[in-house]
Structure 1
């Protein structure tokens, strides 16, 4: 507000000078020949004094508006800070809840995998020795949609052997909300949702859905340290519709209601 104060001082100085001039001209009042001139000077001084008064009023109003705006900004900042804290707290609680739910789901899945039926399957996979073969892959250059939302990948999907699109496992887990267990001994992936259990293995085209064996066109792979799995197979395994649009190179995954 310093500029307002300086302006105020300036206007007051001008006002003082004008008042002094008015007093000086009052001394000349005895000279009748200057009456008309004095009247004109007085009128101009009064007009100028009115202008100064109007300018001061305007400055006061502007100062009031600026103070009000500053107050509103402070209130807005306080509101935003409170909203930020609220959102952060809600996000923290949501993450904690999701972690608890995931632990519960993984615990239930572990119980199911501890049955003799699944233990035989897991043991068979742990003894699997993948055949060393060259796998050719290239950037798929595709977009994937889940419902109306674009799926964002940390590592872009790739096309394997010019036929199958594979995507990062982590994105699939988040997308479908599946429980997941990783068996590092056999590089085995176990996914579960709504009672359906899918078992896959890195480098192995054999897969199990509810412990029934089947074959994949392309096996899960490790690419740049990221586990990649066939998007069509896993989407259809968890009862979602998959559509490939060649013209736009897009994959549309639609939940079946």
Structure 2
């Protein structure tokens, strides 16, 4: 299969998984009090399928197993993100940030709002390291690592400050997080994050260029596309483009989301 097709699959998967999660969260926001928790519970089988897919695909390096590893990792990542956006796995602090805090206190309080989620992400990374260590197919690990680093960098930039922050898709359960975002000039966190992700994309692109095995070609095409998307998402914190339109058209309208700022996604 062509690496270009693999790259398009990566782009579509990124768009589709993001849209599916936002759709579930928005519908739950318009539902009853237990709608968010119900979504997370009912989607546990998808998490199990993802974990099983990572284990099975790691045993042999084939084109099919590379795709299974990639999509299985997205299922794992997607479930963790759904649990976070649903307010099920976030952190012990669930109130807005008060005014007048020192930078250190503000950072600690911000950490308390997402600590359980961050620890779960780190635990999942450790599990993937254990599964893929010494395995024939390690593309699941690299897929997750790209997502992990990009998400940490994005959250740090939202905390320290970026020109564009989109609160349109922030669910009801995470309204308090908006008070921890900072809209303003970029800080050192942005060039560090964007440089690291750009180098990552370039490194995987170089591996793609040098690859000879079909499975490696597909795998590195997927990773290059994913790292490039992560880089693009960071630039969208600065460049004034209506990126939210990628998903807004497919989501049901609710009163909570009407008349919101049209800036950048979570």
Tell me if TM exceeds 0.5.
Answer: no
Give the TM-score, by structure 1 length.
0.21
Q: Which has the larger radius of gyration?
A: 1
Structure with greater strand percent: 1
Structure with greater helix percent: 2
Give the TM-score, by structure 2 length.
0.20
Q: Which has the higher contact order (CA 8 A, sep 6+)?
A: 2
